[in-house]
Amino acid sequence: MGKISVLVGFVLLLFGNHLWARTITVCNTCEVKTIKEGVAVAADYDTLLIKKGTYREFNIQVNKPLTIIGENYPVIDGEDQGEIFTIVSNNVTIDGLYIINVGTSYTSDYAAIRVVKSENFLIQNMVLEKLFFGIYLEKCKNGEVYNNKVIGDAVDEYNSGNGIQLWYSQNIVVKNNIVQHVRDGIYLEFSDNITIENNISSDNLRYGLHFMFSNDDIYKNNTFENNGAGVAVMFSKRIKMLGNTFKKNWGAASFGLLLKEINDAEITGNSFEENTIGISIEGSNRINYSKNNFIKNGWAIKVRGACYTNTFIHNNFMYNSFDLAYNSNLNDNIFEENYWSNYTGYDLDRNGTGDIPYRPVKLFSYIVNRTPETIILLRSLFMDIIDFSEKVSPVFTPDELVDAKPLMKKIK
Amino acid sequence: MIKILKYSFYDLMRSRWSYVYFLFYLLLGFVLLFLNNELSKAVITLMNVIIVLVPLIGTIFGVMYYYNSKEFTELLLAQPIKRSSIFLGQYFGVAGSLTMSLVLGLGIPFALYGLFESNAIWDFSLLLITGAFLTLIFTAVAFNIALSNENRIKGFGYAVLAWLFLAVIYDGLFLMSLIVFEEYPLDSFSLVATMFNPIDLSRTLILLKLDISALLGYTGAIFKQFFGTNLGLVISICTLLLWTIIPVWRLGYVAKRKDF
Amino acid sequence: MIHVESLHKKFGKNEVLSGLELDIHQGGIFAILGPNGSGKTTLIKTILGMVIPNKGTISVMDSLVKNKWKYRQDINYLPQIANFPGNLKVRELIEMIKDIRQKPSEEQKLISLFGLEPFLDKKLSNLSGGTKQKVNIVLTFMFDSPLIILDEPTNGLDPLALIRLKELIAEEKARGKTFLITSHIMQFVEEVSDEVVYLLEGEIYFKGSIAELKIKTGQTNFEHAIAAISTHNKHD
C-alpha cells in the first residue's frame, strides 16, 4: 500500500508538473528577452514560445525537458560564434526555429542543434542555414527528426560539416527532411535501428547518405540527387534499402550507391537513374537485389573485389551504357529473370523469358576498364562488331556469367 | 544555282530511289517502334542506324547520281550557267532530297507515336540534325570522289572504301593506338582523333545526350571540360560544319578546273 | 567573232592542241575538219569553256572566255552525242532549257518542222537515236543567237530531216549567223560550208574556201581533196 501511494504520488507529481506547465513567451519586448534567459527561468516541461524576431545567441544549453516553439520562424543568429543549441536533457522538443550562422571550427564540430546522451526528443520544422553541422545526435535514443530543412553553403570537404549526423545513436526516425549543400547530407556512425524515410538529400559535396559501422537500419523512399555521390553504405550489416531514388550523381568516382563490406542487405524497389555508376559494390555478400530500376546509368553495376552469393532478380536494366562491369571474379552470384533493354534475343516458346541467355558483361567494358580513354568509342560500329563476336564466342568475358532467363517485358 | 537545284530535286523526286529510301526509313521507324514499344529505346537503336547507314546511303546515292546525271551535266555546261552553280545545284538537290527522305521517313512514324509529348524529342531532333549533317558530308565526299574519277567502277569502289574506312576501320586503328599508347595521357589525342572523322564526331555528339553519365566517369580534365560543359556540343557542331563546308568548297574548286 | 591565240591543250601526256591560231569573222559557215583525234571536238569545247586550255587565249565577240559563262548566252551548241537526262520528258527538257536561257524561243515551229509532236510527252530514255538528235536540233535552233556550233549534226538523221536541217542552216545563215560545224559527211560539208578549217596534229593545216582547197590539192572532187591533204601530209 505504502509502495503504491508513493508511486501514485510520484505519478501525480509528474502529471502535476505537466498540468501546471507554463508557457513562457520570449520576445524582444517581453519580460524574457533571450532564449537563454527563457531556458534559465523555465521549469521542467515548460514551453518556451519564441516570438518572431532576431535573437543573436549561441551556446544555448537545454538541460531540462522543455518544448521550444518558434512562432513564424524567429531567427536565431549565431554570428559564427559557435554551437547554437546543445540539448543534454531527455524529453526536449524544438520546433519551428530558423537558425543561421553556426560557427565553423577546425577543432570542434559546432552544430546548429546538438543532442547529447538524451532520449525522447523531437526536432521538427526547423530551418537551418549557413551552418557547419546541422543536427548532431550523439549517443541518443528514441528520438525523432521531422520536416527540417538543412541548407548549407559547403564549398570544400575539409571545412564543412554534415547535415544530419547520428553517432552512437539508436532507434531514431529521420523523416521528411530536406538536406542540401553540406558535406554528407545524412551521416550515420555506429548507429543501429535507425529509420530514414522520405528525405530529399541533394547537391551535397560528398554523400547524400553515409553509413559507417551501423547495423539493422532501414532507409526508404528517399531521393538522392546530384550529390558528390549518392549513398555510401560501409562496414554495416543488415541494412534495408527500399524504394529510394538515386539520381544524377555524376563524376569520375561518383555512384548512386556504394556498398563496401556490406553483408545481408536487402535492396528492393529502388530507382537508379543517370548516375555515372548505379551501384558500386566492393566485398559485399549475401545481398538481394530485386525490383530495382537501373535507367540510363553509365554503368548500372560495377563490382570491385570479391562478392559472394548476391542475387539479382526481377530488376530492370534499361538504356545503361554498360549493364555490368567487374574486375575480379564474381562468385556464385545469380542473375535471373531481369529485364535487359540491350537483350536482342527472342521468345519462341512464349513463356515470357528469352530463349537464349543474356550476357551482361561486354568486352568493351573490359577495354574501357583498361584504357579509360576508349570510352570515346562507345556505340561505334567497330565496338559493336567486336562485342558481337565476343558474344558469339566468349574469350575474355566469363562463360557462366549470364542471365539464363532474361525477361522479354520490363517489370512494372 | 537555285534553278539547277530545283531540277535536280525534281529529277530525284520522280526517281524510284528517293522513294525506296523514304519508304525504307518509314518502315524502319515503324518497325523500331513496334518492336521496342518505347520511344527512348527506339532512339538508341536509331542512333546506331543513323551513324552507319546514313553515311553509306549518302555515299552510294551521291556517286550514283553524279554518274547518272553526267549527260545532264554536259548539257548544262554548254548553257550560260556558272560551272560551280551546276555542281553545287546538283549536290544540294541530292543532299536535300536525301535529307528530306530521312527527316520525313523517320519523323512521321515517331510523330504518330507521340513524339511531341515525349521528352525524347530533344534526343530525336539531335539525331535528325546529325543525320542531316552526315548526309550533307557524305554526299559531298561522294561527289568529290566521282568528280575525280571518270571510271564509274573505280569511283564507286573508292566511295564505298571511304565509307568503310570512316565507319569501321578508322575506329579500329583508333582503338589500337589508344591501347598501344595507354601509358601516355591520351584525352586530347582521342578528342582530336574524333574530330577527324565525321562519323565519330556525330557519334560523340549523340553520346553527349545519351551517355553523358558514362562519359563523366573518366577522370581526364580535358574530357571533363569537353563533355561536362557546353564546349563539347559547340565544338562538335562547328567541326561538323567545317566537315560540310570543306568538301563542298573543294567540289566547286575542282569543278571549275575540270575538262568535260 | 572568234579569235583563238596559241592554244595548247594536253590530256595527260597526249597533246591535242599545240599552239593553234584561228580567226573566224562574222557571218558564214565554217566547217572544222580533220582526221579522228585531230582536236576538232576539243577546239569546240574550249570555245564553249567546257575544256580549259593549258595555254593561250580565246575570245568570243571581243571578250575573253576564261572563267566566264555569260557569253554562252550568245552561243547555240549542238553536242555530238545527244545525252539527255532520261527521267525527263521532251516537253520538260525544252521547258527547262528555256527556263535556264531566259530568251525568246520559237520551239513550236521547229517541233512541227521535225514532226516531234507525238514524242513531246515521252521520256527521253525511250526515244530512238534519230529522234533524240531531232530534239537536240530543236534545242539548238530555238534561240536566236549570233553563233551556232554544230558537232556532227547529221548523226542518225533520216533524209527528210537532213533536208530540213540544211534548210534551217541556210535560213539562219541568211540572217547573218555564224556557224561552226564538224562533220564526217563530206557531201554535207561541201553543200553547206563557205570555208573549211582543216586541223591536223593540233594545228590548223589549211584554212580557206573549198575552191581554194581543190586548187591546192589539184583535185576536182572535194572528198578526194580532203583525202589528199591527209595523205599528202603523211608523206611529208
Greater confidence (C205 vs A39) lies with A39
The arithmetic mean of pLDDT across residues C202-221, rounded, is 84
Whether residue B171 and residue A251 make contact (CB cut-off 8 A), yes or no, is: no
List the CATH code of the domain at A22-226: 2.160.20.10
Reply yes or no on whether the pLDDT at C231 is more than 90.
no
**pLDDT (tens digit, 9 = 90+) per residue, B93-127?**
889 889 999 999 988 888 888 777 777 788 888 88
**Residue A408 near chain B (CB below 8 Å):** no
DSSP C178: E
> Given the C-alpha cell 554503368, which residue does it identify?
A299
The arithmetic mean of pLDDT across residues A322-347, rounded, is 84
User: Which of C2, C6, C147, C143 has its CA nearest to residue C63?
Assistant: C2
Burial class of residue C146 in the structure, from the number of CB atoms within 10 Å of its CB (0-12 exposed, 13-18 middle, 19+ buried): middle
Q: Which of B231-235, C171-175, C231-235 has the lowest mean pLDDT?
A: C231-235
Helix/strand/coil for C21: strand
How far does chain B reach from its first CA to its final CA, in angstroms? 19
pLDDT score, position C236: 45
User: Hey, which of A67-71, B108-112, C119-123, C189-193 has the most confident mean pLDDT?
Assistant: A67-71
pLDDT score, position A143: 94
Greater confidence (C225 vs A125) lies with A125
Give the Å distances, CA to CA, from C89 to A86, A310, C77, C128, C150: 95, 73, 20, 14, 23
pLDDT bucket at B228, cuts 50 / 70 / 90: confident
User: Where do the structural domains in chain C lie, given as residue ranges?
Assistant: 25-49+68-231
**Residue C85 near chain B (CB below 8 Å):** yes
Q: Which of A175-189, B13-27, B49-63, B100-114 has the lowest mean pLDDT?
A: B13-27
Whether residue C83 and residue B74 make contact (CB cut-off 8 A), yes or no, is: yes
Q: How far apart are CA A81 and CA A104, in angstroms?
A: 8
**pLDDT (tens digit, 9 = 90+) per residue, C67-87?**
778 888 888 888 876 677 777
The arithmetic mean of pLDDT across residues C101-108, rounded, is 84
Distance from CA of A142 to the nearest CA of B (A): 40
pLDDT bucket at A20, cuts 50 / 70 / 90: low
Average pLDDT, chain C: 84
- The percent of residues in chain A predicted with pLDDT above 90, rounded, is 64
pLDDT score, position B4: 76
The DSSP result for A297-340, as a single string, is: -SEEEEEES-EES-EEES-EEES-SEEEEESS-EES-EEES-EE
**Contact residues, chain B, for A251 at CB < 8 Å:** 216-217
Q: How far apart are CA C46 and CA C40, in angstroms?
A: 10
What topology is assigned to C25-49+68-231 in CATH?
Rossmann fold (3.40.50)
pTM of the model: 0.81
Whether residue B78 and residue C99 make contact (CB cut-off 8 A), yes or no, is: no
Reply yes or no on whether the pLDDT at A118 is more than 90.
yes
> Given the C-alpha cell 527528426, which residue does it identify?
A145
Greater confidence (A101 vs C204) lies with A101
pLDDT score, position A328: 66
Beta strands in A74-142 (DSSP E): 75-77, 85-87, 93-95, 98-100, 111-116, 122-124, 127-129, 133-138
Closest Cα in chain B to C88: B11
The arithmetic mean of pLDDT across residues A13-18, rounded, is 49
Greater confidence (A15 vs A102) lies with A102
Taking a C-beta distance cutoff of 8 angstroms, is the pair C80, C41 a contact? yes
Q: How far apart are CA C224 and CA C207, in angstroms?
A: 17
Which among A380, A381, A388 is the top mutation candidate for probing chain B, defined by the most B β-carbons within 10 Å of its own β-carbon? A380
List the chains bordering chain C where 3 or more Cβ pairs fall under 8 Å: B
Q: How far apart are CA A97 and CA A410, in angstroms?
A: 47
In terms of DSSP H, where are the helices of A33-104?
35-41
Taking a C-beta distance cutoff of 8 angstroms, is the pair A214, A194 a contact? yes
User: Which of B192, B173, B177, B186 has its CA nearest to residue B218?
Assistant: B186
Burial readout B35-46 (b: 16 or more C-beta within 10 A, e: otherwise): ebebbbbbbbbb
Dmax over CA atoms of chain A, in Å, equals: 91
pLDDT bucket at C21, cuts 50 / 70 / 90: confident
User: Where do the structural domains in chain B lie, given as residue ranges?
Assistant: 2-257
pLDDT bucket at C234, cuts 50 / 70 / 90: very low
Q: How far apart are CA A310 and CA A218, in angstroms?
A: 19
Closest Cα in chain A to B176: A374
Strand C55-60 to C63-64 pairing: antiparallel
Reply yes or no on whether the pLDDT at A2 is more than 60.
no
User: Hey, which of A212-226, A304-318, A360-374, B227-241 has the most confident mean pLDDT?
Assistant: A212-226
The DSSP result for C122-158, as a single string, is: SBGGGS-HHHHHHHHHHHHHTB--SEEEEESTTTT--
**Residue C73 near chain B (CB below 8 Å):** yes
> Which among B15, B81, B256 is the nearest to C87, CB-wise?
B15
Reply yes or no on whether the pLDDT at B1 is more than 80.
no
pLDDT bucket at A16, cuts 50 / 70 / 90: very low
Give the count of beta carbons closer than 10 Å to the beta carbon of residue A216: 15
DSSP A151: E
**Contact residues, chain B, for A298 at CB < 8 Å:** 211, 213-217
pLDDT score, position C235: 43
Q: Which of A57-61, A69-73, A313-317, B5-9 has the lowest mean pLDDT?
A: B5-9
pLDDT bucket at A7, cuts 50 / 70 / 90: low
**Contact residues, chain B, for C71 at CB < 8 Å:** 80
All three cell numbers of A10, joined, read 510520484
Q: How far apart are CA A287 and CA B53, in angstroms?
A: 44
Reply yes or no on whether the pLDDT at C233 is more than 70.
no
Give the count of beta carbons closer than 10 Å to the beta carbon of residue A107: 5
**pLDDT (tens digit, 9 = 90+) per residue, B173-216?**
999 999 898 888 888 888 899 999 999 999 888 888 778 777 77
Whether residue A371 and residue B48 make contact (CB cut-off 8 A), yes or no, is: no
Q: How far apart are CA A237 and CA A374, in angstroms?
A: 37
Residue A332: left if φ>0, alpha if ψ -120 to 50, beta else—which one? left
pLDDT score, position A330: 60
The amino acid sitting at B241 is L
pLDDT score, position A175: 95
The amino acid sitting at C166 is K
Burial class of residue C125 in the structure, from the number of CB atoms within 10 Å of its CB (0-12 exposed, 13-18 middle, 19+ buried): exposed
pLDDT score, position A243: 95
Average pLDDT, chain A: 89
**pLDDT (tens digit, 9 = 90+) per residue, C160-169?**
989 988 988 8
Q: Which of A77-91, A189-203, A268-282, B26-40 has the lowest mean pLDDT?
A: B26-40
Closest Cα in chain B to C95: B7
pLDDT score, position C82: 65
Does B touch A (3+ CB pairs < 8 Å)? yes
List the chains bordering chain B where 3 or more Cβ pairs fall under 8 Å: A, C
Reply yes or no on whether the pLDDT at A18 is more than 60.
no
**Contact residues, chain C, for B90 at CB < 8 Å:** none
> Which among C49, C50, C87 is the nearest to B14, CB-wise?
C87
**Contact residues, chain A, for B199 at CB < 8 Å:** 380
Return the sign of the alpha-carbon dihedral for residues A139, A140, A145, A148.
Answer: negative
pLDDT bucket at A163, cuts 50 / 70 / 90: very high
Helix/strand/coil for B179: helix
Distance from CA of A35 to the nearest CA of B (A): 48
pLDDT bucket at A19, cuts 50 / 70 / 90: low
Reply yes or no on whether the pLDDT at A139 is more than 90.
yes
> Which among B41, B48, B219 is the nearest to A319, CB-wise?
B41
**Residue B81 near chain C (CB below 8 Å):** yes
Angle at A197 between CA A194 and CA A198, to 5 degrees: 165
User: Hey, which of A248-257, B167-176, C192-201 has the most confident mean pLDDT?
Assistant: B167-176
Beta-carbon contacts below 8 Å between A and B = 118
The arithmetic mean of pLDDT across residues B138-163, rounded, is 93
Give the Å distances, CA to CA, from B137 to A244, B90, B92, B242, C113: 46, 14, 11, 10, 48
The arithmetic mean of pLDDT across residues A133-144, rounded, is 94
> Given the C-alpha cell 522479354, which residue does it identify?
A408
Whether residue B171 and residue A372 make contact (CB cut-off 8 A), yes or no, is: no
The arithmetic mean of pLDDT across residues B155-184, rounded, is 92
pLDDT score, position A258: 94
Q: How far is CA B208 from the centre of its chain?
A: 18
Reply yes or no on whether the pLDDT at C35 is more than 50.
yes
User: Which of A116, A120, A154 has its CA nearest to residue A135?
Assistant: A116
Reply yes or no on whether the pLDDT at C127 is more than 70.
yes
**pLDDT (tens digit, 9 = 90+) per residue, B49-96?**
888 899 999 999 899 989 988 877 888 888 888 888 888 888 988 898
